Structure 1
Amino acid sequence: MTGAVPLQQGMLPDTIANLLGLDAFGVAGDIVAALLGAFLIANFLLINTAFAGPWAKRKITAAFTDRIAVNRIGPFGLFVIVADAVRLLSKELIVPEGADRPAWDLGPILIPFSALLGFAVIPMGSGLQLADPETGLAFAFAASSIASVGLIMMGYASNNKYSLLGGLRAVASNIAYEIPLIVTGVSVVLFTGSLQMSAIVEAQQATFVSVAGIAIPQWFAFVNPFAFVLFVVANVAEVGRNPFDIPEAPTEIVAGYQTEYSSVYFVLIYLGEFIHIFLGGAIAATLFLGGPAGPGPAALGIVWFTAKIWAFFLFTQWLRSAVPRLRVDQFIEIGWKGMLVLAFANLVLTAVIVGVLA
């Protein structure tokens, strides 16, 4: 059809369109294929989040603190996922008096939406990518940043001074660590010369060094471990895990921006929190750990990708159990006076190295 933008070859929507014969329907077929692809990716993430939130989080924390976690409802306590869903969704949705209702309703929706949107450009395996624009990395960062709008909306619209303070703290912390996060990500772009996610993954396929006959891939975590550490620390702060969880710490400000939320809205906030952890792990894996790359055939890419995002999730849960939270002034000071300076120093150093090697 004239003026239609064809689906990119090798993308998940393109594969779905070929399998279902949707190519014959032009733009309408492309839209249906894209929606089906988004549905599959979203459900994959929701299944992972369902295991991570109600079940794995409790099991991991119990293992770290030498306690017994959920083990009565179903095998290994797995049916607690269903029990928690029924329990939370059946609660009354209490709307605070004086709330700015449109903003109060929209805020919790933006949290999971922004995280799911970020996955649209993440290569998750062979042919498992919704889109691969030339500005893919910028899109992923921009999509995840939408959550900050939701946080300030929830804090403001709740008509609660503690919620407002919590929302302001959350946005202040996001800004303080989002800039170092992006600047560190740009250092990877200097190596690859592209913002396209597939190009970043492809640049890490070569062999970095061979030790005793074992080829170590050219993952940027090996090429520039300093940048990798900076990115992981800033990422942990972005997703609000210890020691950077002060914006929603119950002992400080009554759960912060989510104080006035219950029932399905609390579920959306909780869901968005864990999808953002997986998105943070997905971006880190794409930039520094070869994306879906790993031993074995390309078909195992989704397995390696899932293992990497779960490894990041396990790391955040270890921090939650082992590291005490920082005060808000310490938290912000580390972001602006420490992480930001180190991120720009890393960027300059990377530029020098790339300039010398070019």
Structure 2
Amino acid sequence: MTFTETISSLLPISGPIADFIGGAVASLLIISFLMSLVAVSGIWGKRKITAAFTDRIAVNRHGPFGLLIIVADAVRLLSKELIVPDGVDRPAWDLGPLVMTSSALLGFAVIPMGDLFGLNLQIADPQAGLAYVFATASIASVGLVMAGYSSNNKYSMLGGLRAVAQNLAYEIPLVVTGVSVVLFAGSLQLSEIVAAQGETLVSLGGVAIPSWYAFVNPFAFILFMIANLAEVGRNPFDVPEAPTEIVAGWQTEYSSVYFVLCYLSEFIHIFLGGAIIATIFLGGPAGPFLPGFVWMVIKILGVYLFTQWCRSAIPRVRIDQLIEIGWKGLLELSFANLVLTAVIVGLL
């Protein structure tokens, strides 16, 4: 049973109301965990990782290991004045950060987070799960456009336009590469994709190598990782908010709680990208000894660490180079991978 069904079965009532309450409670628990993960990884972990890559000390004065910087930053940002520039399109300006944040949170509704204490921590498991998660994640592009054009700022407008160009160039290769996984698994249902990776690919010296699609089709895995970097706006693909060129791009005019929402959406999208990669290429929550939920979190944090490494080690490309890489590189390679996968599946 899904997490929603488990909670619903524990209620003294049944029917649509019980399903609604079960879904609301399950969603609240998963969102609470994600918020905690963002607080630790986005505020404290990001500083520590970047400092390690650049040979610096980072935060160490606020509490043990500097962990209280999370509280200090939260108080600092939320207590700042919310400055609304003159001439903004207020409804779109207000809704932009909310659209970006909610689109990432919606994607986690179908992610199989694994088992913990005998509970299956997956809120829903629709048959078109992979299509759903791609569709909800892409809604963030609408929020970026809203934030960019509504801010009445040329730098914000440029950032919004760059974001649209980037998402168009890299979202197609991302989805096409994901379709190659669907050809192997024979299903869009995420639980089925995870189950299809549970078999043994090869056994070496008594060690069983699982048939994770990262091993079965490493070319698709690399393509997806690169496209995901562009989707989450990490180096070398962070031109929509390039500070050396356009201040902070689409988020230039946001402050206080609105800036927190922009920052939150950025990291939730990184974790959503990591969850998708873990699900369709790394066996989902599968792993020895530890509970599935723990393995899923480890894999998501592994992808997060990779994005932070890219942020510290890889220089930003120009906007024309970014578009060329997407349309003239990844697009062709993703379709070539799809055709090759279809041939292999057909022969098998």
Q: TM-score, normalised by structure 2?
A: 0.98
2:186 paired with 1:211: no
* Structure 2: distance between partners of 1:33 and 1:185: 30
Aligned match of 2:64: 75
Cα shift at 1:18: 2.4
1:130 is matched by which residue type in structure 2?
I
What SS does the aligned partner of 2:203 have? Answer: strand
* Structure 1: distance between partners of 2:17 and 2:346: 47
2:296 paired with 1:296: no
1:256-305 Cα offsets, whole Å, 9 max, x none, are: 000100000000000000000000000001110000000126xx000000
* Structure 2: distance between partners of 1:119 and 1:145: 13
Alignment map for 1:214-293 (pairs within 5 Å): 214-293=207-286
What SS does the aligned partner of 1:107 have? Answer: helix
What SS does the aligned partner of 2:140 have? Answer: helix
For residue 314 of structure 2, the aligned residue among 313, 317, 323 is 323
For residue 116 of structure 1, the aligned residue among 94, 105, 117 is 105
1:63-109 Cα offsets, whole Å, 9 max, x none, are: 01000100000100000000000000011101110111000000011
Aligned match of 1:185: 178
Moved segments of 4+, more than 6 Å: none
Aligned match of 1:336: 327
1:124-172 Cα offsets, whole Å, 9 max, x none, are: 0031101111100000000000100000000011011111111010111
1:163-194 Cα offsets, whole Å, 9 max, x none, are: 11110101110110000000000000000111
Cα shift at 1:25: 3.5
2:42 paired with 1:53: yes
For residue 30 of structure 2, the aligned residue among 15, 24, 41 is 41
1:221-268 Cα offsets, whole Å, 9 max, x none, are: 000000000000000111000111111011111110001000000000
What SS does the aligned partner of 1:261 have? Answer: coil
* Structure 2: distance between partners of 1:106 and 1:50: 22
Alignment map for 1:148-187 (pairs within 5 Å): 148-187=141-180
2:169 is matched by which residue type in structure 1?
A
Aligned match of 2:95: 106
1:246 is matched by which residue type in structure 2?
V
* Structure 2: distance between partners of 1:72 and 1:243: 32
Cα shift at 1:16: 1.2
2:78 paired with 1:89: yes
* Structure 2: distance between partners of 1:288 and 1:305: 12
* Structure 1: distance between partners of 2:85 and 2:131: 37
Structure 1 spans left out of the alignment, 5+ residues: 1-9
Taking only the aligned residue pairs, the percentage that are identical comes to: 71
The number of equivalent residue pairs is: 344
Aligned match of 1:3: none
1:191-215 Cα offsets, whole Å, 9 max, x none, are: 0111000000000000000000000
* Structure 2: distance between partners of 1:25 and 1:180: 43
* Structure 2: distance between partners of 1:25 and 1:17: 7
What SS does the aligned partner of 2:109 have? Answer: helix
1:39 is matched by which residue type in structure 2?
L
Cα shift at 1:335: 0.3
* Structure 2: distance between partners of 1:302 and 1:333: 39
2:34 is matched by which residue type in structure 1?
L
* Structure 2: distance between partners of 1:25 and 1:184: 41
2:3 paired with 1:12: yes
Structure 2 spans left out of the alignment, 5+ residues: none
Does the CA contact (< 8 Å) of 2:8 and 2:14 recur in 1?
A: no
Aligned match of 2:337: 346
Q: CA RMSD in A?
A: 0.8
2:137 paired with 1:144: yes
* Structure 1: distance between partners of 2:137 and 2:280: 16
Deviates more, 1:26-35 or 1:70-79: 26-35
* Structure 2: distance between partners of 1:177 and 1:210: 36
* Structure 1: distance between partners of 2:288 and 2:48: 29
Q: TM-score, normalised by structure 1?
A: 0.95
1:59 is matched by which residue type in structure 2?
K
1:77 is matched by which residue type in structure 2?
G
1:290 is matched by which residue type in structure 2?
G
* Structure 2: distance between partners of 1:63 and 1:100: 41
Alignment map for 1:190-201 (pairs within 5 Å): 190-201=183-194
